[in-house]
Amino acid sequence: MSKPLNVGVIGCGFMGRTHTNAYKKVYSFFKPPFKPVLKAICDTNADKANAFAETWGFESVETDWRKLLARKDIDIVDICTPNNTHKELAIAAAEAGKMIICEKPLAMNTAEGQEMVAAVEKAGVPNLVSFNYRRVPAVTLAKNLIDSGRLGRIFHYRSVFLQDWTISSDLPQGGDSLWRLDVKVAGSGVTGDLLAHCIDTAIWLNGPIKSVTAMTETFIKQRKHTQTGKVEEVGIDDACAFMARFANGSLAVFESTRYARGHKALYTFEINGEKASIAWDLHDLHRLSYFDHRDESIVRGWRSIHVTDGDMPYMKHWWVPGLQIGYEHSFVHQVADFLEGVDKKQPVGPTFRDALETQKVCDAILASAKTGQWVEVG
């Protein structure tokens, strides 16, 4: 019998939904050692929180996260609030002895992230940052192929994350979802929001990033703020492109923007090794493209692996071979792995400490963009 584990989710926006959905599904599909109980939802917006509790089946509602953290009946705190709240909430949750899942990016900057790492390690609480794309089965398969040596020496890593939703100059900054355009809440623009995902995956697949050189641009310099009603400076990077050197000697090019007309969430990566290459595309997330130079020349070519068979990562828990899964499932996998780790008392990545490495790369990118110089990470 799995033991009940009482969950308190903070923030009932986009991520509040994906995480809550994961807690609801994980037991039925993965039978982890703990059975999540939706104990409390917390949001500063009481109407939203009450409606969310009714829709998703939470037992109770809080509007002050301090009250949630003070409750003895909460085991795990799941932070799904904007970036400028992560540090305060996570440190308080650690001091209250709660297990923590925190949305990405870990923090507003490296200094904040270091405080958060110190807090969870001092408290000894299980902790994880929600870089969920690691747990798309095709991405996990890419990791397994690289770790097994199939690609050989890696030469190149190439990754983009493209969107197009901020092109209109009428779009305000601040408030639900639009906090991403307000640097005081987001910390940065596409660097912390989108490239952080690309960087986490890249470090996981290809090892540490040593140095970067970057350029950023803010295409629309002023936007009305929803909270003050005034036109204010825009402090975020609307677009960022950077080159990087990995510790293993490979070279990388990354690009992200919210001004790529026609692209909604085009996250791709390609890795070129001595013996083989792999490529992945979020828009077709259940497929992994693979090219192996060792194949006989008359059949050699890019193959598209449909990652649905039972021996593919995570897939035996879902349907039957040939039937694919999607975006939401990466969050179910994240919770499943986290709960296994809690039971075995083994940290499951990306921990706060792992996510700090991504934060350091983001800080190096933003520093480089100011000077145009190469910057060593950390």
- The residue (of 42 and 355) whose beta carbon lies closer to ligand NAD is 42
Coil, strand, or helix at residue 234?
Answer: coil
Size of the chain, expressed as the number of residues it contains: 378
Question: Per-residue x/- mask for ligand NAD, residues 55 to 94, rule CB under 6 A?
Answer: ----------x--------------xxxx-x---------
Rounded to whole angstroms, how far apart are CA atoms 150 and 275? 7
Q: Out of 21, 25, 29, 45, name the contact with ligand NAD by CB under 6 A.
A: 45
Contact 252, 246 (CB under 8 A): yes
Site for ligand NAD in 102-131 (CB under 6 A): 103-104, 130
Site for ligand NAD in 158-177 (CB under 6 A): 176-177
How many Cα neighbours within 13 Å face the side chain of 275? 10
Task: Assess 191 for contact with ligand NAD (CB under 6 A).
Answer: no
Least distance (Å) between residue 148 CB and ligand NAD: 27
Rounded to whole angstroms, how far apart are CA atoms 334 and 130? 8
Nearest C-alpha neighbor of 100 from the set 77, 124, 67: 77
Least distance (Å) between residue 186 CB and ligand NAD: 8
Read off the amino acid at residue 275. Answer: K
DSSP-derived secondary structure letter, 346: -
Tell me which stretch binds ligand NAD (CB under 6 A): 40-48, 226-234, 237-245, 316-324. 40-48
Tell me which stretch binds ligand NAD (CB under 6 A): 6-14, 108-116, 205-213, 341-349. 6-14
Tell me which stretch binds ligand NAD (CB under 6 A): 4-12, 70-78, 285-293, 303-311. 4-12
Read off the amino acid at residue 18. Answer: T
Size of the site for ligand NAD (CB under 6 A): 26
Cis peptide before 313 (omega within 30 of 0): no
With tokens 């090219």, the residue in question is: 291
- What are the residues binding ligand NAD (CB under 6 A)? 10-16, 42-45, 48, 65, 80-83, 85, 103-104, 130, 132, 176-177, 179, 193
